[in-house]
Amino acid sequence: MFENLPKFVFFTGKGGVGKTSLACATSVNLADAGQKVLLVSTDPASNVGQVFDTRIGNHIKPIANVPGLEALEIDPEAAAEDYREKILGPIRASLPEKAVASIQEQLSGACTTEIAAFDEFTALLTDEALTGRYDHIIFDTAPTGHTIRLLKLPGAWSGFLETGGDASCLGPLAGLDKQRERYAAAVQSLSDEALTRLVLVARPRTSSMVEAARTHRELADIGIRNQHLAINGMMPAEASDDALATSMIERERTAVEDADSELAGLPQSHFYLRPENLVGLDALRRMNQPVETLRSETPRRALVDLPPLSRLVDDIEADGKGLVMTMGKGGVGKTTIAAAVAVELAARGHEVLLTTTDPAAHLTETLAGDVDNLTVSRIDPEVETQVYRDHIMATRGASLDAEGRKMLEEDLRSPCTEEIAVFQAFSKTIREAGRKFVIMDTAPTGHTLLLLDATGSYHRDIMRHAGETSAHMVTPMMRLQDPAQTKVLIVTLPEATPVLEAARLQDDLKRAEITPYAWVVNASLAATETSHPLLVARAATEAPEIARVEETLSARYSVVPMLADDPVGAEKLRALVGRSKERA
């Protein structure tokens, strides 16, 4: 599967790219070859136990029927809770309730979870008595370059906070000083090419390859250069008269050929789309074998059972105006869904503003010329983020010493910073939703919204100064919390990990008192009429995930089919919407 692997191997990538499957299959492959292997998962959406059909948990456990393989699941949520308590426990009684609440919110986001997980697995990297028992330690999910840069910075983080620092990711680092020596050793191990290889897992799609290129550069810049690119889920390039299969092959070929030159220069392994979910030892061991395009024995859900996007647009249209926000992890297609909803509403005669951070200029150009009633605005995240960073450094950073400014600059590289900056730019357009439809692509998470509020956001400042007139004030945050004014669409894919991550996003939003309006399950094979044996088999695996959305996650949802052609331009975007029974 992978040749000449060093002691430590990390599999990293966005949710749903298949890093857990590759990590598990690699571990089994090594153990079958006589190696002693420890498989460690730090993924918040870990399904390692499900893959091996056994409960693993946070203690090392042998995997049945695989001599030489043991596994451990680090629970990031439990680790994050313990980590929060380490920091909050000693100060809870001595600070005002509002201050504690502010710090607690700073400690509630992805940075804390990632750092807490890093805190757990650094023990594995630096415990020679433990690591000496294994030939290989395989990690499912590695830390980002942002986290490693933070851990490499010198200085007292808690001291920074005590002097008034309130940026997004410094809070999680407040309790790290005592363990810096261990962290330094762990970071050194990650940078040692003789000890560590980092496998970037991506799907053969443009957005996924762009994300992998970004991760490659970020890690290379901090000294982690022993990288390997694994392109997972490729459609076998075989002759077919199925239009969807033929189109997928061509799109994937283009995405791989057009990839960033530095990424393309890495050693590569390609893994093909399987007709089965990679669950169980037999399926993992078959991963290295040729794909058998067998027809599925499980009947696919009938097309008529899957509610089209048009039905959801019917419901949205009923109000005649309002804000519609698409949210979701990278690569699930939220930009495309936002554009499809906007085009459909405009085609029905409504005035629509589509505001997006989509870097794909061809989409903007197509919409601008071809759709009546539709205005498109594009916010440049890089520009808005730089403006925001400059403002923070000129205000909060003005009173800091050189070390404090360095730490603040590093913190402002956090993903939260871009979310906040972009949201502030978006906020200028929110009030237009009082007279027309505003479709907003790429929205901040609930954590970021709460962080804005907890650290002196526009909403809190306005309400505090409004006094008796506050009853008549309507802030952007209040609009987002009002279901009569804002409809949040959570976009996901019909696969286990993307659905789990979308469920976590929904919980995050509810903490900010924002209840999603509906879910959109995008790029579904079950909603197509494909006859290709491999795709029919894959369509059958979607049924449990679609059922989970319908039965436990959202009272209102739609399923959007995977199209044979890229959904660019008004006609193809409207094809994504489909037709409800009322308009058939």
Give the whole-angstrom CA distance, residue 415 versus residue 423.
12
Dihedral sign, CA of 125, 112, 396, 427? Answer: positive
Return the number of other C-beta atoms located less than 10 Å from residue 370's C-beta: 13
Catalytic residue among 20, 206, 240, 310: 20
- Please give the C-alpha separations between residue 325 and each of 148, 316, 479, 517, 575, in angstroms, as whole numbers: 32, 12, 12, 10, 20
Please enumerate in sequence order all residues whose Cβ is within 8 A of that of 65, keeping only pairs 6 or more positions apart, or say none: 281
Annotated active-site residue 168? The verdict is no
Annotated active-site residue 492? The verdict is no
Dihedral sign, CA of 158, 159, 160, 165? Answer: positive
Annotated active-site residue 20? The verdict is yes
Annotated active-site residue 18? The verdict is yes
Annotated active-site residue 16? The verdict is yes
Annotate 76-90 with DSSP letters as a single string: HHHHHHHHHHHHHTT
Catalytic residue among 141, 497, 524, 541: 497
Catalytic residue among 13, 15, 18, 165: 18
Give the whole-angstrom CA distance, residue 42 versus residue 47.
11
Farthest CA pair distance, the chain:
74
Task: Answer whether 528's CB lies under 8 Å from 559's CB.
Answer: no
Catalytic residue among 21, 42, 310, 486: 21
Catalytic residue among 13, 14, 41, 43: 43
Task: Answer whether 88's CB lies under 8 Å from 100's CB.
Answer: yes
Nearest to 186 by CA among 129, 112, 114, 121: 121
Annotate 442-505 with DSSP letters as a single string: S---HHHHHHHHHTT-HHHHHHHHHGGGGGG---HHHHHH-TTTEEEEEEE-SSHHHHHHHHHH
The H or E element containing residue 335 is helix 334-347
Annotated active-site residue 355? The verdict is no
User: Residue 287 — φ and ψ, nearest 5°?
Assistant: -65, -30
Annotated active-site residue 21? The verdict is yes
Unique residue bearing structure tokens 């509610």: 307
Give the whole-angstrom CA distance, residue 284 versus residue 52.
9
Task: Answer whether 417's CB lies under 8 Å from 389's CB.
Answer: yes
Unique residue bearing structure tokens 């019917």: 314
- Please give the C-alpha separations between residue 16 and each of 45, 206, 412, 502, 578, in angstroms, as whole numbers: 10, 15, 28, 11, 26
DSSP 8-state class, residue 177: G
Catalytic residue among 12, 13, 15, 16: 16
Written as six digits, the tokens of 192 are 């040692």
Task: Answer whether 346's CB lies under 8 Å from 352's CB.
Answer: yes
Catalytic residue among 13, 14, 15, 19: 19
What stretches of 89-205 show up as alpha helix (H) in DSSP?
Answer: 97-106, 110-126, 128-131, 145-152, 157-162, 180-191
Give the residue numbers annotated as catalytic, written as ranges.
16, 18-21, 43, 497
